[in-house]
Amino acid sequence: MRRIPARMPSRAYDVLVGRDCLAGLGGALSRRCPGGKTVVCCDENVAPLYLEKVRSSLRAAGYEVSHIVIPAGEAQKNLARAEELYGVLYDRGVRRGDTAVALGGGVTGDLAGFVAATYQRGVRLAQVPTTLLAQVDAAVGGKVAVDFRAGKNYVGTFYQPWLVYSDLAALETLPERELHSGAAEVAKYGLLAGGELLDRVERLAAGSLTAARVSQELVTGCVQYKVAVVAGDEREETGARAVLNLGHTIGHAIEAATAFSRYTHGEAVGLGLRAVLWLSRRLCGLDPGEEVRAQAVLDGLGLPRRLEAVPAETVCALTRRDKKAGREGVGYVLLDAPGSPHLNVRVPPELEREVIEWLLQR
Ligand SMILES: NC(=O)c1ccc[n+]([C@@H]2O[C@H](COP(=O)([O-])OP(=O)(O)OC[C@H]3O[C@@H](n4cnc5c(N)ncnc54)[C@H](O)[C@@H]3O)[C@@H](O)[C@H]2O)c1
Ligand SMILES: [Zn+2]
C-alpha cells in the first residue's frame, strides 16, 4: 500500500492507496481512531458490492458497526438527506469519538462528510472512496458540502478526514462512463503537475481505459499534488487552492447550462480542459505542440471532443455566475506550460465566447 501523509493545518492524516485492500480498512482505521462506533454511509449501488466487506473488516477490528444506505445520485446531496443521516447518528447514540465512514463516490463523501463535520460539531470521519473521481480528488482535501437550491455545494465547510482509504480494485465495478469521468480529473492533475505524472496519464490514454490500468502510482501522484496544494491553502484563503479549478470554470458552466444532466462532472471538466488549453496557447504562450499533445490525451481518455446543443452565450453568462468569480469576473487558471499553471488570468469576453464557439464547432 502507498501512504501519502497529508499534513493539513487543521489535521494530519494519511491517504492510503492500495489494490484489493478493503479487508484491511478496519485495521488501518483502528490504528488511527481506536474504539467506539462506526456508521458506514453508502449509496444503493455501492451497498451490494462493498458494504458487507467493509462492515466485517470494521467488526473484526473491534468496532460496533451500523450503516445507512441512501439512494444514488447528486440529487441526494441535500439538507433533507443530511437530516436523515443526523437522525441515524442520533438513534445510534454516536458521540464525538465515534467515526462516520463514507463509502462510495464523491456524492457520499461530500454528504456524509458534511454530516460528520456538523453533527455535535464534528465526529470522526473516514473517507473510503470507490470512484476514480473521489479517489484522486473528492475524498482528499476536506471540502464537504450539500447542494442548496440551484447552488452546487452551497452549504458546506472544510473538514479534514482522519483517514482516506482507497482500494483501486473497487474501480473494477465502476460503470465505464464514471471511469472516464474520473479520468478527466486525472488529466487535470497531469496537466497541473506536468513531468512524470503527465507522462503516466499519457501512457494511460494511449490504450483503452480500464480499471486494471489505473495504477497506484497514478492515483498517488494525483493525491500528492492535491495534498500539497491544500496544505498551503486549506480554507481557500490565499488563492493558491484555486489552481485545482483548472478546467472547472467552463466545466461548471457547461454542467449548469445543460441542467446537470447531459454531461457528467468529469465530461464537463474534460471540455473545460480543452478550452483551457486553447486559451492558454493564446494568452499564456502554451507551446502549440503541448496543446496538441494534451488534446490527444483527452481524446485517449475517451472524453467528449465537442460541446453539443448549448448556446455559447448561455455558457458565457454562467461562467460569470461561478461561485469563485470575483467582482471583476472570472479569473481563469491557465497553463504557461504543463506543470506551470498561471492563476487568475483575465479572459476577455470575446475570447471566452470564441473558445466556446470552438468547442461547439469542432
Ligand atoms: N469535496 C471535493 O473536494 C469534491 C471534489 C470533486 C467532486 N466533488 C463532488 O463529488 C461528486 C461526484 O462524485 P462521483 O463522480 O464519485 O459521483 P457519485 O458519488 O455519484 O458516484 C458515481 C456513480 O457511481 C456509483 N458507484 C460508486 N462507486 C462505485 C463502484 N465502485 N462500483 C460501481 N458503482 C459505483 C455511484 O452509486 C454513482 O451512481 C459531486 O457531487 C461533486 O460535487 C467533491
Ligand atoms: Zn472536479
How many degrees, rounded to 5, is the angle at CA 78 between CA 237 and CA 66? 105
pLDDT score recorded for residue 258: 92
From 8, 21, 45, mutation site for ligand 1 pocket: most ligand atoms within 8 A of C-beta? 45
Grid coordinates given for 232: 498551503
**What separation in angstroms does the CA of 8 have from each of 146, 213, 224?**
22, 30, 13
As a three-state string, the secondary structure of 59-127 is HHCCCEEEEEEECCCHHHCCHHHHHHHHHHHHHCCCCCCCEEEEEECHHHHHHHHHHHHHHHHCCEEEE
Distance from Cα 251 to the centre of ligand 2, integer Å:
8
Mutate to test the pocket of ligand 1, among 19, 133, 155 (most ligand atoms within 8 A of CB): 133
Could you give the angle at which helices 349-361 and 265-283 cross, rounded to 10 degrees?
A: 120
**Which of these is catalytic: 185, 255, 290, 291?**
185
Per DSSP (E only), the strands in the chain are 2-7, 12-18, 37-43, 64-70, 99-104, 124-129, 143-148, 151-158, 163-167, 331-337, 340-346
Q: What is the chain's mean pLDDT, rounded?
A: 96
Q: Which of 226, 234, 267, 291 is catalytic?
A: 226
Does ligand 1 lie within 6 Å of residue 142's CB atom?
Answer: no
pLDDT cut 70: percent of the chain above it: 98
Q: Which of 188, 252, 267, 274 is catalytic?
A: 252
Q: Is 319 strand, coil or helix?
A: helix
Output the CA–CA distances (angstroms, integers) from residue 15 to 120, 141, 165, 220, 246, in the order listed.
25, 10, 6, 9, 23
Q: Is 176 a catalytic residue?
A: no
Inter-residue contact 221 to 193 (CB < 8 Å):
yes
Identify which of 179, 163, 161 has the alpha carbon closest to the alpha carbon of residue 171: 179
Q: What DSSP state is assigned to residue 348?
A: P
The model's confidence at residue 325, banded by pLDDT at 50, 70 and 90, is: low
pLDDT single digits (tens) 183-227: 999 999 999 999 999 999 999 999 999 999 999 999 999 999 999
Helix (H, G, I), strand (E, B) or coil at 337: strand
Which domains are seen in the chain, by residue range?
2-173 (3.40.50.1970), 176-361 (1.20.1090.10)
The set of cell numbers assigned to 168 is: 483501486
Q: Find the 30 Cα to ligand 1 centroid distance in Å.
A: 26
SS3 at position 244: helix
241 annotated active-site = yes
78 is catalytic: no
How large is the average pLDDT for residues 133-141? 98
Q: Is the predicted pLDDT of residue 297 greater than 70, yes or no?
A: yes
- For ligand 1, atom 4, the nearest C-alpha belongs to 138
Q: What is the pLDDT of residues 66-103, one digit of tens each?
A: 999 999 999 999 999 999 999 999 999 999 999 999 99
Task: Name the band, by pLDDT with cuts 50, 70 and 90, for residue 309.
Answer: confident
Query: Confidence class of residue 321 from pLDDT cuts 50, 70 and 90?
Result: confident
pLDDT tier at 328, thresholds 50, 70, 90: low
Which residue has 458552466 as its cell numbers? 253
Q: Is the pLDDT of residue 62 over 70?
A: yes
CB 86 within 8 A of CB 115: yes
Amino acid occupying residue 111: L
The residue-averaged pLDDT of 220-241 equals: 97
Catalytic residue among 37, 81, 124, 241: 241
For residue 167 and ligand 1, the question of a CB distance below 6 A is answered with no
CB distance 105 to ligand 1 below 6 Å: yes
- The confidence score (pLDDT) of residue 329 equals 59
CB atoms within 10 A of CB 215: 15
Phi, psi of 211 (to 5 degrees): -60, -40
